[in-house]
Structures are given as C-alpha cells and as structure tokens.
Structure 1
Amino acid sequence: MRHFCKILFILLLSVSLQTQAQTCTVSTLPVTFSTYDPLSNTPSDITGTLTVTCNALVSLLVSYNVKLNGGLTGSVASRIMTSGVSQMTYQLYSDSGRTTIMGDGTAGSTIINDGYLLSVVAPVIRNYSIYGRIAAKQNVKAGAYLDTVTILLTY
C-alpha cells in the first residue's frame, strides 16, 4: 500500500504542474495591400501571418481559438477600410482560394481552433496564414485606406 501512495503522489504532482500559469499571445504585422488600381479587372490580394505563442513550464492538452472581428463595420461579412469619408470594401479569408471568411464564427465565417498535446519549458509557436482581398473595380478616391481588426485569443 505504501508504494501505491508514492505513485498517487507523483500523479497528483504531475496534475498540479500542468495547471501552473500558462500564457498565450497572438501577434501579427500590419497587412498592407499594394497600390490599388480602381480600373483593374483583377482584385488586389495579400497574405499575412498570424502567430500564436504559448508558454508554460509544463502543459498538456492545451487548446485555443482565435477570432477576428469585423473592424469598422463590426460585421465580418462586410469589412471596409476608410480614407476620410471614402470607403473601400475588402475581406480576410482563412484559405488561399479566398472562399472562407476569417472572422468570429458569425455570418458563415470561420475561426482558428487549434492546440497542442504536450510542451515542456519551450514555447509552442504556431503560424496561420490570413489571406486578404480588395475586390476589383471599386470607384474610390486616392488615399491611404485603413481598418483595424481586433484579434481575440481564448485559451
């Protein structure tokens, strides 16, 4: 019976280690489209990278999700960039074919659901591609168009 107690203590110690503080962060560089030509029949495409980094002394079965909001419009289905009062529509996608909107799970958009099984001391870093597109033939004034999309990481 004494041997059993030692094993039980080791198992409890292992469980307590995995619940120690874990931190996950998300980062990305600003995504900048090239010069937009409103007369072109071709959309303007860009690819950016979103990085999730998780740190813990020991972690098991860590899962997380990443959501992107709709920016200025508040809707992932109709994102816009503005330059003064001028507006230009654009969209962010989770696939290179630009068919699945990257968002918060609303309006048919997808979120990043991922995780990892085991990490000991070393950080776990995952990169995800985000594909942007400005539709062709938008009648817009010249200017610097901006939008801010908030990223929510839940773990």
Structure 2
Amino acid sequence: MKKLMLTLFFLFVSNQASALCVPIVCTCSVSITPVSFGSFNPLLAGTHDANGNVAVNCGGVVGLLIPYTIKLSQGGGTSYTARRMASGTHYLNYNMYTDNYVTIWGDGTGGSALPGGSITLDLLGLSPARNHTIYGRVASNQTTAVPGLYTDTITVTVTYY
C-alpha cells in the first residue's frame, strides 16, 4: 500500500488596517492568525480541517460605533468556490468558511459571504477585539496529489465605514 503525506501551509498577507476617521477620534488594527493545515494524506477518506482568526480592535471616542466588513481574496483559485493551493504545477483544492464549513468566505459575490460587524470604541482601546474564526477545509478525494509543500496567499481586507 502506497502511503502519501503532503505538507500543507496556508499563508496570509495582511497589513495593519486603519479606520477612516481622524486619528484623535479613533484608531483600529487587525491581526491575523493564519490557517495552517499541517500534513495531509490524500489517500485517507474525509476532509482535512484547520482554523485561523481575524481579530479587529479599535479605540477612541467612547461610545463611537465603527462598522466594518472583512474580505478574503480568492488566492490562487479562479473563484471563491474554487480556491487552490499550489506546489509547483500541482494543486490541492480547499476553501475557507465563515461558519462550520457551510458559507464560503469571500467578498459577497459568487455565492460567497462578506462577514463583518461593528465595534464600540472606548477611550483607552481596552475593549476586547472582535474575533472572526476562519474555518479552512482541504477537500477529500484528491488522490492525484503529489508530495510537496502546498501554499496559497490570501489577502485580508478590512473596510471600516
């Protein structure tokens, strides 16, 4: 019996985000915990899951409410429903979800969701960050996969209103 193990990593590229407001009134930041799938055996039945996180934190004028949305890019795929990681010319299909592997996280187009929320500011920026879990899943039945390091880069864009 042939045993095949793949090492999968999922990389995010993100810059610090800032709210569209006067710096004295408010400041916001975003931090990302990337999704790292680790090793994956495509010969085993079932999917391979891992989680990440997007944390949004703001401080400023007490009581000011800052609404925001969080967009995840398509990465190396051709659409939000067809994301893929690459190892040279080889690919593995995967996706990211806003909930327990039901709603695809994207930009609100093509059947994807554009999650967000709002955060109430406090004077010292001590209120807890708003956390948004990223549910990542590598699709099953990818038996043509070859060993290698598979990666994809997703851009996280937080838009404040």
Among candidates 141, 144, 155, match of residue 150 of structure 1: 155
Pairwise mapping of residues 13-92 of structure 1 onto structure 2 (< 5 A)?
20-58=24-62, 60-73=64-77, 75-92=79-96
Q: Which whole-Å CA distance do the structure 2 matches of 1:70 and 1:116 have between them? A: 26
| Partner SS, residue 142 of structure 1 | coil
Task: Give the TM-score of the pair, scaled to structure 1.
Answer: 0.80
Describe the superposition over 1:19-51 as per-residue Cα deviations: whole angstroms up to 9, x where unpaired.
644222222122110311111111001111111
Higher Cα radius of gyration: 1
Q: Which letter does structure 2 place at the counterpart of 1:69?
A: S
Please, which runs of 5 or more residues in structure 1 have no aligned partner? 1-17
**2:118 is equivalent to residue 112 of structure 1:** no
Quick check: 2:60–2:121 contact (8 Å CA) kept in 1?
Answer: no
Q: Which whole-Å CA distance do the structure 2 matches of 1:59 and 1:74 have between them? A: 42
Q: Which whole-Å CA distance do the structure 2 matches of 1:59 and 1:75 have between them? A: 39
User: What is the deviation of 1:74?
Assistant: 5.1
**2:145 is equivalent to residue 126 of structure 1:** no
Please, which runs of 5 or more residues in structure 2 have no aligned partner? 1-20
User: What is the deviation of 1:106?
Assistant: 1.0
Describe the superposition over 1:47-85 as per-residue Cα deviations: whole angstroms up to 9, x where unpaired.
111111112244512111111110122521210100011
Q: Which whole-Å CA distance do the structure 1 matches of 2:102 and 2:156 have between them? A: 20
Quick check: 1:94–1:101 contact (8 Å CA) kept in 2?
Answer: yes
Quick check: 2:71–2:107 contact (8 Å CA) kept in 1?
Answer: yes
Question: Larger helix proportion, structure 1 or 2?
Answer: 1
Task: Give the TM-score of the pair, scaled to structure 2.
Answer: 0.77
Q: Provide the residue aligned with 2:104 in structure 1.
A: 101
Distance of aligned partners of 1:123 and 1:29 in 2 relative to their CA distance in 1, 3 Å threshold: same
Q: Which letter does structure 1 place at the counterpart of 2:40?
A: Y
| Partner SS, residue 38 of structure 2 | coil
User: What is the deviation of 1:118?
Assistant: 4.4
CA RMSD of the aligned region, Å?
1.8
